[in-house]
Chains A and B, each alone.
Chain A
Amino acid sequence: MSARSKPRTRTSSRAISVWLIALLVAVVATIQIRSQAEVERSFAGTDTASLAFLIDNLHRANDSLQAETADLTQQEAKLQSGGDSAADQVLTDEANHLRAAEGLVPVHGPGVVLVVSANGLVALDLQDALNNLGIGSAEAIAVNDRRFVVGVPIEQTQAGVTVGGYLVPAPWTISAIGDANRLAQAADLMTQSLRGDRRVRQATYRVEADVVIRAVVSDRPFVYGVAS
């Protein structure tokens, strides 16, 4: 009895081993194919032009991030090596930088000045134009001497387009400070496109070594939000 059951046990254990191995192979193969498919799915339907656009954007973004990392590393080293005066200097520099970014102080620097003379342009047109300058590296913007930063609403009213509640009638003089070469490229594309718009009488731009923006945004304290 026991002599007959021994080969049967051996056969069944061999079958189990084979099945286990087959299962393992199937699992590994599935994981391999699925993980690759998962990676490709995130870009499914994206054409090569869009991918090239993404690459360009990411390259530029990563360069900026690396520059910021270098700046922060320097700040940290300064804080570690210096005393209280070093901390005061780092904080003062940061306060100046943030005030400029938030539009709280008058600023100057290289950039472009666009003049758009038109009939019937609406808030969305201005919003698009300012966003295009943002893509083109604008670090400070003003429209008809009204300072604009993201958060300042651009609205359509019966009287016309407003920036931060102030009417900005045409012609629009848009001043932008930033990387002059990139801003010039953006301004060139924008004015070309605007000239093709029937509502636009004239759209020009000039590159300037020192664009001055005196307008500022008024500081608005939080009423609802709590920073932490």
Chain B
Amino acid sequence: MSRRRVVSIFVVAAVALATGFLVAGQAKVQLLTPSNQVARYQALVRSVQELEAGNAASRQKIAALRAQIDGLEAAAAKRSATTQALQGRVGDLRARAGLTQLHGPGVEVDLANGVPGPDTAGVGAYLVNFKDVQDLVNLLFAQGAEGIAVNGQRITPLSYFSGSGNEVTVAQGPPITVPIKVQAVGNRTRMEGALDDPSTLPDIRTREVLYQLQVSFRGSPDISLPAYDSTLDTRHVSPL
């Protein structure tokens, strides 16, 4: 094959590639209704995506900083008995606050959306919402959970649940969408018993029947929960 031919093939390939990008870009634009509303919607989606990326980066940085601080504290603890005792006490407090990994027996609960019902009164009732997660977490803590994670986000003493529609947010984490997995380490027998009891979680169970909301659970001899990777904000609180 002559050199000129090779060059011409590359030129054709480059032109074809550029055409491909143009066609794809054009198709993307054509697929959407050209209106201000759509543009605004897209801008909002882009904002959420950028903020989510920032959120993930910050949480990664916090986890890395905590690991580095752990290392420095451990080094200091080797040189001083007082520091060692303090480090042990802080280690216990961190574990209880969810700042360290936790493993042990427990349960895993899966929640997923059901199907829309024929009645208009139950609009959205087939969707898993943040209150479902809140109820489930409260039930598991009441039944002997020692640590809980929701889709890999660890619950802490200052966690809260919020959301809108089908989006669930746990404290400062990014929004979670279904399917939702709640993992709990603790008294497996009590937690399984409560999840089996038809009188618990009345709202979820009613919607399970009416809208086929999907709820399932299984016990496990060893479940691992990640450490919390955000902030426990107590800037306004002072000890008495």
Contact = CB atoms under 8 A, between A and B. Distances in A.
B162 A55 contact: no
B80 to A, nearest CB: 5
Which 8 residue pairs across A and B have the least CB separation, nearest first? A134-B160, A153-B142, A87-B76, A61-B172, A68-B231, A32-B24, A227-B95, A149-B157
Interface string A66-101: 111100110110011001101110111011111111
A127 B48 CA distance: 29
Interface of B: 1, 9, 12-13, 16-17, 19-21, 23-25, 27-28, 40-41, 44-45, 47-49, 51-52, 54-55, 58-59, 61-62, 65-66, 68-69, 72-73, 76-77, 79-80, 82-83, 86-87, 89-91, 93-97, 99-106, 131, 134-135, 137-138, 141-142, 144, 146-147, 155-162, 164-167, 169, 171-175, 177, 185-188, 230-240
A132 B239 CA distance: 24
Contact of B103 (A96, A106, A128, A225): A225
DSSP class of B's interface residues: helix, strand, loop or mixed? helix
B134 A131 contact: yes
Nearest to A71: B231
B204 to A, nearest CB: 12
A224 B185 contact: yes
Nearest to B172: A61
B16 A25 contact: yes
B62 A69 contact: yes
19 contacts: A17-B9, A24-B16, A36-B28, A43-B45, A46-B166, A53-B164, A54-B48, A58-B52, A62-B54, A62-B172, A67-B231, A69-B62, A80-B72, A83-B76, A87-B76, A91-B90, A139-B237, A225-B104, A227-B95
A227 B101 contact: yes
B48 A25 contact: no
Q: Which of B24, B95, B147, B173 has the most CB of A within 10 A?
A: B24
A55 B167 CA distance: 12
A84 B76 CA distance: 6
Interface string A24-50: 111011001100100110110111111
A11 interface: no
Contact of A33 (B28, B68, B157): B28
Given A90-B73, A154-B138, A224-B187, A179 B236 contact: yes
A109 B21 CA distance: 58
A219 B138 CA distance: 18
A111 B237 CA distance: 10
